[in-house]
Every structure is written in C-alpha cells, then in structure tokens.
Amino acid sequence: MLPRVLIPAETIAARVIELGRTIDREIPEGPLLVVGVLRGAFVFMADLVRAIPRDVRCDFLGVRSYGDATETSGVVQITSDLSAPIAGKHVLLVEDIADTGLTIRYLQEILLARGPASLRLCALLSKPSRRRTEIALDYTGFEIDDSFVVGYGLDSAQRYRNLPYVGTVQAEHK
C-alpha cells in the first residue's frame, strides 16, 4: 500500500523554487557550497541546487542516527565526511527533516568549527513538536505535525525514497 499524500509533488516543486530564489537573494554573492546530509536530503538538494541561480558547488555528509528504526537513537555518527575544506566559504547545510534537532545541532557545531565564511541551515520539513534541542533554521520548506513521513528522499527502512511526494505511513519498525 502506498503512503497517504501529505504534500503533493507540485506543492513541493513550487516551494523549492521559492527557497532557491530566497537563498540566492539572502546569502552573500559568490560561490555557494551546498552540503547535503545523506541519504534523505539528496532528492531535495538536487532540486534545490537547480533552483539557485548562481555558482553552486555540492558536497555531502553521511550521517546515521536512525538506522532502520523510526525513532532517533540520539547518537549522531558521521559515516562519510566532506571531500574538501570549507574554511572561508559560504555554506548551506541541507537536511531532509528537522525532527529532534540533534543531528542538525551536531552538524552545525562541527561545520562552524571548520571556519566557513557563513553557515545557513535549510530543511525541507520541520517538526517543531519533536525538538529535543533548540535550532534556528534559516530556510524551511514545510512545517508538519508529528507523523512518520516518507517520500521525496525520506525513507522507512530504505523504502519510499523514490516517491515524488511526501506522504505518511504507519511506522513499520520499532
């Protein structure tokens, strides 16, 4: 059974274009390094970088905090680091979802310690009701209630990433 549509593909596409324009306008001129958090952010990031009309470079961080579970372990593990230094660069960190805030907070601290010219945070989805730590997102696609979501890069035990929309599904793994 396919997940129930929460945010249709057309709505996502329109919002991503808006985000790209806003990011281009607000981040200082010059090259922009967009860092995607793997694996969930790759679909969103691909569309987002195409919506930012400037010189954009891409890199990725592999991070694990969920595994195949539907609840975060609370422990963030970097599984793959950036391929180049970020010192002096304008950096946009792109996440699929800001849930507890633990992963974004951890990555923000690590990246700031590397001396970027600026660091902005962007998440496709935000679930403020689940926060366990305060975070300040610079750019948010959609704020959602506390439901388990999949699609548009987000998964449940590696399933549903390929859906063109964000949908809700009953949690399959505890």
- The structure tokens listed for 22 are 């806003």
SS3 43: helix
Tell me if the bond preceding 39 is cis, omega within 30° of 0: yes
Q: Which residues are catalytic?
A: 99
Give the whole-angstrom CA distance, residue 127 versus residue 158: 21
Give the whole-angstrom CA distance, residue 82 versus residue 28: 22
- How many separate helices (H) and strands (E) can be counted in the chain? 3, 9
Of 114, 115, 121, which is closest to residue 93 (Cα–Cα)? 121
Give the whole-angstrom CA distance, residue 63 versus residue 75: 10
- The structure tokens listed for 43 are 């679909």
